[in-house]
Structure formats: structure tokens, C-alpha cells
Amino acid sequence: MFQHLEPYAGDPILSLNDEFQKDPRADKVNLSIGIYFDDKGRIPVLQCVRDAEAQMLAEGGAKPYLPIEGSGPMRQAVQHLLFGAEHGAVKAGRIATLQTVGSSGGLRVGADFIRRWLPGSAMWMSDPSWDNHRAMFEGAGIAVHTYPYYDPATGGVRFDALREAIAGLPARSIVLLHACCHNPTGVDLSREQWRELVPLLRQRELLPYLDLAYQGYGDGIAEDAYAVRLLADSGVSFFVANSFSKSMSVYGERAGALSVVCADAAEAELVLGQLKATVRRNYSSPAIHAAGIVSRVLADPKLRAAWEADVAAMRERIQAMRKSLHATLSAKRPGRDFGYFLSQRGMFSYTGLSAAQVDRLREQFGVYLIRSGRICVAGLNTGNVERTASAMAAVID
Ligand code: KET
């Protein structure tokens, strides 16, 4: 029955993370996967999450199926978090929000919906992007192309080329954009560039699809929603998939959401209905435990304040690691400019290391990063940053 199957080559990020776990070396360093580790190299369980779980346990509630679209309190909390409670689009009821199985679930449900209802639309993503963006949209039967983004010569964005490419797309093309903390480069659009881009998306009748997986790791929780709010202000219809995996450190809970901002409440109702149909024939309904955590942390003022402080601390620890990495590398390799480690935002930096250099780092020094040269800066800590920087200095030509 199955002899004709092609073996699965594995996912480049998840397989490398598995390989790291098996490495017996005590001084190994995991910069592969986009997970926040604390200064001791552990995945933290935030106190606000523990408290939310304690409340749920004390209440001892039953565990019925959630509605197809997920928990009402979580969906409302997500809208307030992303757009602001007072935003006109929220008040007008013109946003369709579903709780999804991580933001990955949201991305894919949105892609399936688009394939069904806008069947002629192709998707355009940044060059480079998170590899799974391509896999998810192609998996939904949507053609995937790229627009220019990262400029290896300057370490910045090729904004003129990007604008030109976007201006040439057919109406209703899907434009996938990282709302903040671009994966894998760490290079974001400036606010000024967003303000230039949004009218162009509107004028060309394009369909922006934002991925907000690292909210709070850039400049702050509300600050990182800048592009989401700018698009909502502009009157454009768009998708945004957001994740709590990183911001609440609840990866395996699969906590995420998909919101579609529509022209009016009647359209939002239609969209929500068809998104529900998409979910029902796929995984039926999302996870109740994830909803319990997220809705409590976002809505309870004490838990919310604790969460905001935790997010700030995680963001600041990463920034401190960027500084240490930059300082050690600059000392070891004088005359070379490592300023990009300081200017790049969020969990990731694009080191410019070649695949051969990445292999050497892993084999010789036990430092794991994916072969594109992306590092997860959150894998660095005060105990390993100097050693890692020295290893990097040793493999750089
Ligand atoms: N979007 C982006 C841009 C992203 O980097 C990830 C995960 C996700 C969505 C998925 O998030 P979730 O809500 O947990 O479904 N990225 C890291 C892990 C992975 O590849 O799955 C990574 O890039 O290492």
C-alpha cells in the first residue's frame, strides 16, 4: 500500500532541533529554533500562565468542545490586543476572529479559505521568509512567489525593489508580510516604510496577510501591532494570524488566532461563517486549555501586568545578548562591522554565515543554527555567549 511513498526529508528547523537534543556534548548551544530560552537555557513557564492555570484548576470546570471559532472571551481579548479595544473596526464588528491551533493553524485556515473563495489569487512572500509560509500556502493549492526584501549588501530592506514588485502585482494577490521581528532576517520595515506601503496595497487592491508571531519581542506589545493597526485604519481588507507561542511561552499549547478585517459587519459575518466551515472539516474546533490561559492572562489586570513585565524582560534579555555577541565578535575580529546584530529586531539575526560555516560551527563547536545562517538570539545566555562568539569568529573568513 505504501511502498511508493517518498521518504520525508524532515523540516529543516524541527529536525535540527531534534539533532541538537541528541548531541551528547555538554557545552552545545541551540540557536536553531525560534524559542525563547531564559538565561539558564530553559523554556520559562511565566508566572501569569501558572496563575491562570491554577485558577482553571480551582474552578474545576468541565471540558466541553469549544465552538468551531473558539472561545468567545479569547477572541474578544485577541481583538483588543491586536487592534486596541477602542478601534473603530472592533467597535463596528467588522473583524472576524477565530481562535486557531497556533498561528500555524490560523495561517493554513486562512490559506484554505482564500483558495476556495479567491481561487485566482497567488501568494507573494518576502525573499527570504519563514520556509513554512511557502509549504502552507502551496499545501493549500496556492501558487507562491517572492518579492525582494533583504539586501545582503546593506543588511537592510530593498525597499525600492519591494515597492516596485508590489506595484506590479495583479489585483487580489495575497501579500504575506511579517508584522514585526522578521523571520529569518530580523530586519523590519520602518514605520515610514509601512506608511508608504499601505496606500500602495490599497490602491492596487491587494490582499495583505500579516503574520504576527513575535509580538512584544520588537519594541513592545502595542508597538509591534503598528502595522496591524495602520492597515485597519486604512480601510483595506486583510488577514492577520497571531501567535501566543513565543509571547506567552506556551508553544505546545497551540495558542493562536486568525483575524480577517472586512469592509463592514455583514461581510465579517460571511467571512466568519466560511472560516468556520473550513475549520469544521479540518480539525473541528480548537483547544480549550489554550483559550483558558490566553483569555485570563489578557483580561485579568493583575495577570496582564505581570505578562507585560515578563515580555519586556524577555525582549530586554535578547537585546543584552545582541550587545554581548556584538562586543565579543568586534573584539575578536577588529575591522569588521557586526552592527547588524544591534539593529536587527526580535528573536532572529541573519549572520551571513555560509552553509559550510554553519556546518563547521555545529560539528566543531556544537553551535547549532539553521543553514540559512539564521540564529535564534534567545538561545544565547551569559554562560555561552562569549564561547559562541569566539566560535563564530573562528569560522568567519
Ligand atoms: N510564523 C512565523 C513567522 C514563525 O516564525 C513561526 C514559528 C510561526 C508562525 C508558528 O507559530 P505557532 O503559533 O507556534 O504555530 N517559527 C519557529 C518554529 C517553527 O519553525 O515552527 C521558527 O522559525 O523556528
Q: What is the pLDDT of residues 297-321, one digit of tens each?
A: 999 999 999 999 999 999 999 999 9
Q: What is the pLDDT of residues 66-122, one digit of tens each?
A: 999 999 999 999 999 999 999 999 999 999 999 999 999 999 999 999 999 999 999
Q: What is the pLDDT of residues 194-217, one digit of tens each?
A: 999 999 999 999 999 999 999 999
Q: What is the pLDDT of residues 142-162, one digit of tens each?
A: 999 999 999 998 889 999 999
- Residue 22 pLDDT exceeds 90: yes
Classify residue 301 as exposed, middle or buried by CB count within 10 Å of its CB (0-12, 13-18, 19+).
exposed
The alpha carbon of 137 and the centre of ligand 1 are apart by a number of angstroms equal to 15
The alpha carbon of 335 and the centre of ligand 1 are apart by a number of angstroms equal to 35
pLDDT at res. 333: 93
Q: pLDDT band for 397, please (50, 70, 90 cuts).
A: confident
Q: Is 130 in the pocket of ligand 1 (CB under 6 A)?
A: yes
* Rounded distance between C-alpha atoms, residue 207 and residue 324, angstroms: 40
Q: Which of 188, 211, 224, 310 is catalytic?
A: 211
- What percent of the chain lies above the pLDDT cut of 70? 100
303, three cell numbers: 495577570
Q: What is the pLDDT of residues 358-374, one digit of tens each?
A: 999 999 999 999 999 99
Instruction: For a ligand 1 pocket test, name from 20, 33, 103, 348 the mutation site with the most ligand atoms within 8 angstroms of its C-beta.
Output: 103
Q: Is 186 in the pocket of ligand 1 (CB under 6 A)?
A: no
Instruction: Give the residue whose CA is nearest to atom 10 of ligand 1.
Output: 104
- Residue 251 pLDDT exceeds 90: yes
Q: Is 346 in the pocket of ligand 1 (CB under 6 A)?
A: no
Residues whose CB falls within 8 Å of the CB of residue 22, separated by 6 or more in sequence, listed in order: none
The alpha carbon of 210 and the centre of ligand 1 are apart by a number of angstroms equal to 13
In the residue annotation, 117 being an active-site residue is answered as no
Q: pLDDT band for 23, please (50, 70, 90 cuts).
A: very high
The alpha carbon of 62 and the centre of ligand 1 are apart by a number of angstroms equal to 31
pLDDT at res. 57: 97
The runs of H, that is alpha helices, within 70-170 are 72-83, 88-91, 102-117, 131-139, 159-167
Q: Is 33 in the pocket of ligand 1 (CB under 6 A)?
A: yes
Q: What is the DSSP letter of 188?
A: -
Q: Which H/E stretch holds residue 14? A: helix 12-22
Q: Which of 224, 246, 276, 310 is catalytic?
A: 246
Average pLDDT of every residue of the chain: 97
Q: Is 34 in the pocket of ligand 1 (CB under 6 A)?
A: yes
- Residue 192 pLDDT exceeds 90: yes
Burial 52-75 (b: 16+ CB within 10 A, else e): bbeeeeeeeeeeeebebbbbebbb
Q: What is the pLDDT of residues 317-340, one digit of tens each?
A: 999 999 999 999 999 999 999 999
Q: What is the pLDDT of residues 255-291, one digit of tens each?
A: 999 999 999 999 999 999 999 999 999 999 999 999 9
pLDDT at res. 150: 97
Instruction: Give the residue whose CA is nearest to atom 1 of ligand 1.
Output: 213
pLDDT at res. 160: 98
The CB-side HSE value for 367 (13 A sphere, CA atoms) comes to: 26
The runs of H, that is alpha helices, within 27-70 are 47-59
Other C-beta atoms within 10 Å of 205: how many?
A: 13
**Three-state SS letters, 146-184:** EEECEECCCCEECHHHHHHHHHCCCCCCEEEEECCCCCC
The alpha carbon of 116 and the centre of ligand 1 are apart by a number of angstroms equal to 25
